[in-house]
Chain A
Amino acid sequence: MNLTRSSQAKGSAGLRDLAERNATFLGPLAALLVLVLLFGVMAPDTFLSSSNLTNVLSQVSVLAIMAAGMTLVLLLGHIDLSVAAVGVLAGVVSAVVYSGLPLTLPVVGELQADPGHQWLGIAAAMLISVLFGLLSGLLTARLGIPSFIATLGVLEMAQGLAFYWSQGKNIYDVPPVSKTLGDSFVGPVPVIVIVAVVTLALGHVLLTWTRFGRYVYMCGANPRAAELSGIPIRRVTVTVFVIAGGLFGFAGVIAVGRLGSAQATGGGDLLLPAIAAVVLGGTSLFGGIGSMKHTAVGLLLYGVLNNGLDQLDISIYLKPFARGAFLILAIAFNIAALRVASRARARSSVEDTDVQDGAAPQTSEPLPAAR
């Protein structure tokens, strides 16, 4: 087997091979380019202006941090429906503690800090989101409850606590750090965009450069294979849900700064986008296939679509319909790309000549003696 020759000599065929193997990534990327061109032609002055493009980025930044967590969960073959609810709860907790309002807890009673402790507020927010992530993880990994149902329960719990602790009111006293992260600029660049990019980059490092990331891929691709290799699947699963919970909470804390207020009703409209953005990027709902790169493209797709529709002269009431229709189109495109990729893989198997499992009947001829 001469590896260098096979990769050099092929030339354009090799390039095509490379493209086909990476079809799950190139597909969404092509869709993104098509969409940018489309809106660029239809609304050249507004859509392509630099302020609007910056806008696209900052519009998807909170979503990006949530989607980073969701990517980990989907790669493992699970789903976390509590994403937006946990984010909202974290935002509410940070604002409640910062403003010196009481947090009523069972058994412990009322916790109340003096107003003005922003780090305490953020620490409390992160703690509670990580705890909810831990709960989702334990329910899924230890009790074997399907993550769809387990996190649906967690969604309700987090949502309920957010209403309870905010007493259903808007809290306008939000931690200054949240405001800095969510609503300020470094030169022309919104800080929130930098935070989102750094989060996705760290997620990428975790997934591709660490052993833990490898375990996530392998457990998602075939849990039984991971188990048969002695991989602690349940610990990997719990860890993923905890990291995801922390990211959801972090996104929520920043969202509060961006909006300038915390309220329990804020997050419902982020649940589906957080999942849609990841899936739009080509990450499989069934685990093992996808990456943070995919999610970055998916986020841009979602952002461009949302923003571009704003620039067009169509009824605001028609917008959700158009968005839904495009989502379906994009997913259909991804599925076609996945087929191309697996066909490319199947082709490489033709080179093998020895007996494939099940292709021939078992022969009962004696084995060559080994000793």
Chain B
Amino acid sequence: MTQTRAGTAVDTDLVLVARGMTKLYGGVLALHDVDFDLRAGEVHAVVGENGAGKSTLIKCLSGGVRPDGGTIRIGDEEVTSLSPTSAQGAGVAVVHQELSLFPALTVAENVLGARGTGGPLVNWRRTRRTAAETLARVGLDLDPRARLDQLPIGQQQLVEIARALFSGARVIILDEPTSSLSPDEVELLFGFVHELAGQGVAFVLITHFLEDVMAHADRVTVLRNGSLVTCVERASVSKHDLVEAMIGDSSSVLQATYEGLRVTLPPTSEEPAALTLRGIVLPPAVVDMSFEVRRGEVVGIYGDLAAGHAEAAEFVFGGRKASRGELLIDGVSTVLTSTTKARAHGVAFIPADRREALALEQPISWNSSLAHLHKLTGFFLRSRHERAHLAKWTEVLRIRGVQPHKTAGALSGGNQQKVLFARWLEYPPKVMVVVEPTRGMDVGAKSDVVRIVREAARQGTAVLLVSSEPETVLTFADRILVAHRGRIVREFTDTQVSKNELMAAGHDMEST
């Protein structure tokens, strides 16, 4: 591996140089003394696991957060921190996964953005002409008069890049640009990126897809636990090298803990299947998925954001319609047209975003009883039963901070998650779907949630766990499935599996 530690040579081509970037969040080092530089006309990928510091780094570079240490030089100017406005002024633009465009406006208006053509009135002809020129300059063949939301998502993304260029950007940070794109759109995007790079625009590519990195990046910076691991020419490394750099050298003492997270999965359960999916197709995310979850078993599906497993989870709870395929509950073919129907068939659901599932302004007890109120009470509420229910689960699940009158919004994230479990566990479901159950939690709350899920499975519930964090899947699951681009590509059962192997499988390459 040839290492070119950033900035050792004086390079006049450098458009951006960050030195010693450091950021603390509440005493935790999210970024520790990281150097990063960017040459004109290159595509520079930044890779690392969740929590490695990728997003903190780009936030420092684009003015999203103020670094606690280090300097940033853009062009000839050196600063210690940027504001979003000064970053934009310096020519740095971020294209996020969620596009910040105006869907109901035309391509032309979106390209020109708030600046328009100047002056208080909209000069439509000039708006269109300027937009057409900008689009032509970057080689995009789009009708400036088309409404943005009539374009496929991939082209909308290109419009956002065009807008960044129009506003004077010379450095464009692409944050997970391919996660919602089809393979054709991915090709289109990178064709466009290389074309612009040829004109001198510099790209920072943040992505989970190592194949995209291998195919399209010029250099790769690897971060781990907030620190710089290496910065290398892409041509000099293999995908395997990158995965190893992301996870860490297994001989090091520190990384022994990581390798320690090598779990032995039991043989597949002999119980009958509680949930079966056969050839499910949910365009565009799920191409073809078949799997089953047996009674009392925790099946974890690991995959990145575009793997389609999150969509499959929603489908099991009646939130999506499959264009093809069959769903069986307890061996009986079932069509779940609504979440109400899914609940009636004994399916429970705990989404990744807890706040989405809670009425934050309403009392805790109203939230915790919502899914089983129809069983707990009759036409008239029985507040005594509700209070007893909450008291019991407060105790069993160790929910902290419960008070009468207190609203769900006043609880911390971990305790909100426990309220959601209380919502479903009063009457144990046949199938429980949990998505990213421990995201953003502290260690104590995490181990509580693990205990809760394992206990539910012990009582006979079939648990389908969906996550993009390998640790989560390894900690919870009896059996692990790996999803990649809408399919299940690998199954781990009755074997030993490490995080390393799991991640390798998730990037659809041979296990290390």
A366 in complex: contacting residue of B381, B409, B471, CB < 8 Å: B471
Chain B residues with Cβ below 8 Å from A362 are 50-51, 439-440
Q: Determine if B123 is an interface residue (Cβ-Cβ < 8 Å).
A: no
1/0 per position for A19-46, CB-CB distance to B under 8 A?
Answer: 0010000000000000000000000000
CA distance A184 to B484 in the complex (A): 75
Which chain B residue shows the least CB distance to A227?
B339
Q: Does A368 sit at the interface, judged by CB under 8 A?
A: yes
Q: Is B357 an interface residue (CB 8 A)?
A: yes
Contact between B414 and A354, CB atoms less than 8 A apart: yes
Assess whether A218 is in contact with B405, with CB atoms less than 8 Å apart.
no
Whether B381 and A210, one on each chain, are in contact in the complex, defined by CB atoms closer than 8 angstroms, is yes
Interface size class of B (residues with CB under 8 A): 35 or more
Residues of chain A within 8 A (CB-CB) of B227 are none
B403 touches A1 (CB 8 A): yes
Complex: A135 Cα to B134 Cα, angstroms: 50
B51 to chain A, nearest CB (A): 4
Nearest Cβ on chain A to B471's Cβ, whole angstroms:
6
For A213, the chain B residues whose CB sits under 8 A away are 381
User: Whole-angstrom distance from the CB of B402 to the nearest CB of chain A?
Assistant: 7
Q: How many Å lie between the Cα of A218 and that of B26 in the bound state?
A: 35
Does B374 have its Cβ within 8 Å of any Cβ on chain A? yes
| Cα–Cα, bound, A351→B401 (Å) | 7
User: Does A366 lie within 8 Å of B261, measured CB to CB?
Assistant: yes
Name which residue of chain B comes closest to A212, CB basis. Answer: B379
Chain B residues, Cβ within 8 Å of A345 = 361, 406-407, 409-410
Shortest Cβ distance from B23 into chain A, in angstroms? 9
CA distance A258 to B451 in the complex (A): 65
B389 at the interface (CB under 8 A from A): no
| Contact across chains for A367 and B450 when beta carbons are under 8 A apart | yes
Task: Tell whether, in the assembled complex, residue A211 and residue B373 are in contact, meaning their CB atoms are under 8 Å apart.
Answer: yes
Is B30 touching A361 in the complex (CB atoms < 8 A)? Answer: yes
Contact residues of A between 5 and 22, Cβ < 8 Å to B? 6-7, 21
What 0/1 readout, one digit per residue, does chain A (344-355) give for beta carbons within 8 Å of chain B? Answer: 011011011111
Asked if A364 and B50 make an inter-chain contact with CB atoms under 8 angstroms apart, the answer reads yes
Complex: A258 Cα to B371 Cα, angstroms: 45
Q: Judging by beta carbons under 8 Å apart, are B361 and A361 in contact?
A: no
**Partner among A222, A228, A352, A357 whose Cβ is within 8 Å of the Cβ of B401:** A352
CB within 8 Å for A228 and B475 given contacts A354-B412, A357-B355 = no
A232 at the interface (CB under 8 A from B): yes
Q: How many residues of A contact B (CB 8 A)?
A: 53
A349 and B364 alpha carbons, distance in the complex (Å): 12
* A215 partner residues in chain B, CB cutoff 8 A: 373
8 A Cβ contacts from A193-243 to B: 209-215, 217-218, 221-222, 224-232
Chain B: CB-nearest residue to A367 = B475
User: Shortest CB–CB separation between residue A290 and chain B, in angstroms?
Assistant: 12
Min CB–CB distance B469 → chain A (angstroms): 8
* Chain A proximity of B351: nearest CB distance (Å): 6
Least Cβ–Cβ distance between A150 and chain B, in angstroms: 21
A370: interface (CB < 8 Å)? yes
Query: Does B370 contact A370, Cβ atoms closer than 8 Å?
Result: no
Contacts of A228 in B (CB 8 A): 317, 339, 349, 351, 356-357
Contact A218 B362 (CB under 8 A): yes
Q: A345-B361, A352-B415 are in contact. Are A209 and B440 (CB under 8 A)?
A: no
B380 engages A231 (CB within 8 Å): no
Q: Mark B254-298, 1 if CB is under 8 A from A, else 0.
A: 000110110100000000000000000000000000000000000
A230 touches B414 (CB 8 A): no
In the assembled complex, the Cα of A209 lies from the Cα of B381 at a distance in Å of 5
Q: A348-B403, A348-B406 are in contact. Are A356 and B439 (CB under 8 A)?
A: no
The answer to whether A230 touches B342, judged by C-beta atoms less than 8 angstroms apart, is: yes
- Verify A288–B362 contact, CB threshold 8 A: yes
CB of B85 within 8 Å of the partner chain? no
Binds A, one of B211-219, B237-245, B441-449: B441-449
Q: For B402, give the chain A residue with the smallest CB separation.
A: A1
B344 at the interface (CB under 8 A from A): yes
Residue pair B25, A360 in contact (C-beta under 8 Å): yes
- Contact in complex: A211, B374 (CB < 8 Å): yes
Residues B372-409 near A (CB distance < 8 A): 373-374, 377-381, 400-407, 409
In contact, B402 and A230 (Cβ under 8 angstroms): no
Chain A residues in 8 Å Cβ range of B26: 359-360
Chain B residues within an 8 Å CB radius of A225: 356-359, 367, 370
Query: Are the C-beta atoms of B442 and A354 separated by less than 8 Å?
Result: yes
Question: B354 contacts the other chain (Cβ, under 8 Å)?
Answer: yes
B412: chain A residues within 8 A (beta carbon) = 352-357
Least CB distance from B373 to A in Å reads 5
Q: In the bound complex, do residue B257 and residue A370 qualify as a contact, i.e. CB atoms below 8 Å apart?
A: no
Cα distance, A10 to B469, chains bound together (Å)? 45
From B381, B405, B440, B451, A211 is in contact (CB under 8 Å) with B381
Question: What 0/1 readout, one digit per residue, does chain B (78-101) give for beta carbons within 8 Å of chain A?
Answer: 000000000000000000000000
The smallest beta-carbon distance between A95 and chain B, in angstroms, is 35
Q: Which residues on B sit within 8 Å (CB–CB) of A224?
A: 356-357
Q: Which residue among B53, B349, B443 has the maximum number of chain A CB atoms within 10 Å of its CB? A: B443
- How far is A289 from B261 in the complex, measured between Cα atoms in Å? 47
Within 282-340 of B, Cβ neighbours of A (below 8 Å) are at: 317, 319, 338-340
Cα of A35 to Cα of B381 in the assembled complex, Å: 37
Please tell me if the beta carbons of A210 and B380 are within 8 angstroms of each other in the complex.
yes
Assess whether B51 is in contact with A364, with CB atoms less than 8 Å apart.
Answer: yes
- Note all chain A residues with C-beta closer than 8 A to B451: 370
Question: Complex: how many Å from CA A352 to CA B413?
Answer: 10
Q: B343's closest neighbor in chain A, by CB?
A: A230
Q: How far is the CA of A289 from the CA of B454 in the complex (A)?
A: 37
Q: Does A365 contact B (CB under 8 A)?
A: yes
Can you name 12 A-B pairs with beta carbons within 8 Å? A210-B379, A212-B379, A218-B362, A222-B360, A228-B317, A345-B406, A354-B414, A355-B412, A360-B440, A366-B260, A366-B261, A367-B446
Task: Kindly list the 3 A-B residue pairs having the minimum CB-CB distance in the complex, ordered from nearest.
Answer: A230-B343, A221-B359, A349-B410
Q: What would 5 more interface pairs be, CB under 8 Å, given A230-B339, A230-B343, A352-B415?
A: A214-B381, A348-B407, A349-B409, A349-B410, A368-B475
On B, residues with C-beta under 8 Å from A are 25-26, 28, 30, 49-53, 56, 225, 257-258, 260-261, 263, 317, 319, 338-340, 342-344, 349, 351, 354-362, 366-367, 370-371, 373-374, 377-381, 400-407, 409-415, 423, 438-447, 450-451, 454, 469, 471-472, 475-476
Residues of chain A having any CB pair with chain B under 8 Å: 1, 3, 6-7, 21, 209-215, 217-218, 221-222, 224-232, 288-289, 342, 345-346, 348-349, 351-371
